[in-house]
Amino acid sequence: MIFPKTLKLTETQLRELLQIVGKHGCALEEAALQTRSIYLIKNGINGIKNDALFNELSTLPYISRVGEMEIPYRLMDRHSTLANHQVGIGNLVLGKDPCFIAGVCTIDVKNPQLFLETAVAIKECGGHVLRGGVWKPRTRLYSYQGEDKALDILLEAKRLTGLPINTEVLNSAQLSLALDAGVDVIQVGTRNALNYSLLQEIGQQTAKTKVVVLLKKSRAMASVDEFLAAGEYVVAQGNPNLMLCLRGTLPRPNGFRSFPDESMTLLLKEKTWAPVIVDPSHSTGQSSFVPSSALAAMCYGADGIMMEVHLDPKRGLGDDPHQAITPDVVKRIIKDCQTLWTLRKKY
């Protein structure tokens, strides 16, 4: 893969490049991306590194970088044209300051005041984004699946606090409702992280907007590359405002809901420019484990933490009774994470 210093090679430069590549028994293919072109070398570098060709190409004054095409994504790569892209939510720029997303697993339409009071408490604790489940994917068919009217309660919380809002969508209809309502962060949960057609549609519908997409890692994903390849489906459709969220993986040890995977932040940061959020509520599945996992995630380099929070977890729907923490715990976590954020800058 060849990255020119300009957005596109001139005809003279392209002729020279074709001559060099052909001399080594390879072919050249142009890949036109959203903002620029890169050039793929066929039959030589794709799987088999040709050091002589690499070295010759690297000396050309109009070539920025030459690398092997070993990864299933282009835009998500930390060296791509989006390398300096910054994702912002409200007044917060991810990477400049830690981001804290908090709220209930499932909004209870019969007790809206519970969510509204929780939202106010989250803002007072220093939270940046309100999460609230409007529609919920459930393993058991007869569990509560959420309902559209919960979206109105989420919007009321936004009006009440002034904070951006985040909710998960499961299909095209819900995506349209959320975007029409002005949801700031569209969440794709672990069950849909491999639903490539939905990811493409979300990318298309949010292209050239300020809407941020929060993509959770599927527990079934085998590797970091597969996670980044899923993100590529969104970004390639025109929306680079993507956050990656780790939420636990498999195999699951006894005592945890999933295998806490906050250490994968290091691997993601090595490969991509996209901000990384960690959800300790879903990875551990127990409220008492959330603080330790959140602090560990911050030590591993996370750009933010996503937590399930409820004023009275026992009265919550969905997962809240098991894994939601109270606002007083959130306040301590935010304070300690901000301290760790400062300490991280020394390394």
Higher pLDDT residue, 317 or 221?
A: 317
Q: 81 is written with which tokens?
A: 């044209």
State pLDDT tens for residues 81-121: 899 999 999 999 999 999 999 999 999 999 999 999 999 99
15-19, 251-255, 257-261 — which one is most confidently predicted on average? 15-19
Which residues, including other chains, have CB under 8 Å from residue 277's CB and lie 6 or more apart?
A: 99, 101, 214, 243, 244, 245, 246, 302, 303, 304, 305, 306
Q: Tell me what pLDDT residue 251 has.
A: 80
Dist. CA 49–CA 51, nearest whole Å: 6
Contacts of 54 (CB under 8 A, 6+ apart): 45, 66
pLDDT at 44: 44
What pLDDT score was predicted for residue 48?
43
- Percent of the chain at pLDDT > 70 equals 95
> Model pTM greater than 0.85?
no
Q: How confident is the model at residue 185, as a pLDDT? A: 98
pLDDT digits (tens, 9 = 90+) for 305-343: 999 999 999 998 888 888 999 999 999 999 999 999 999
Determine the length of the chain: 347
* pLDDT surpassing 80 at residue 35: no
**CB-based contact 99:274 (threshold 8 Å):** no
3-class secondary structure per residue, the chain: CEEECCCCCCHHHHHHHHHHHHHCCCEEEEEECCCCEEEEEECCCCCCCCHHHHHHHHCCCCEEEECCCCCCCCCCECCCCCCCCCCEECCEEECCECEEEEEECCCCCCCHHHHHHHHHHHHHHCCCEEEECCECCCCCCCCCCECCCHHHHHHHHHHHHCCCEEEECCCHHHHHHHHHHCCCEEEECHHHCCCHHHHHHHHHHHCCCCCEEEEECCCCCCCHHHHHHHHHHHHCCCCCCEEEEECCECCCCCCCCCECCCCHHHHHHHHECCCEEECHHHHHCCHHHHHHHHHHHHHCCCCEEEEEECCCHHHCCCCHHHHCECHHHHHHHHHHHHHHHHHHCCC
The interaxial angle of helices 172-181 and 196-206, nearest 10 deg, is: 20
Fold of domain 88-344: TIM Barrel (3.20.20)
Residue 70 has pLDDT above 60, yes or no: no
Which tens digit of pLDDT belongs to each residue from 124-168? 999 999 999 999 887 788 788 889 999 999 999 999 999 999 999
Confidence of residue 68 (pLDDT cuts 50, 70, 90): low
Q: What is the pLDDT of residues 283-296, one digit of tens each?
A: 998 999 999 999 99
Mean pLDDT of the chain: 91
Asked if residue 46 has pLDDT above 50, the reply is no
Q: Is the pLDDT of residue 205 over 70?
A: yes
pLDDT band at residue 58 using 50, 70 and 90 as cut-offs: confident
pLDDT digits (tens, 9 = 90+) for 226-247: 999 999 999 999 999 999 999 9
Query: What local confidence, expressed as pLDDT, does residue 49 receive?
Result: 53
In which band, very low, low, confident or very high, does the pLDDT at 69 lie, cut at 50, 70 and 90?
low
Whether 30 has a pLDDT exceeding 70, the answer reads yes
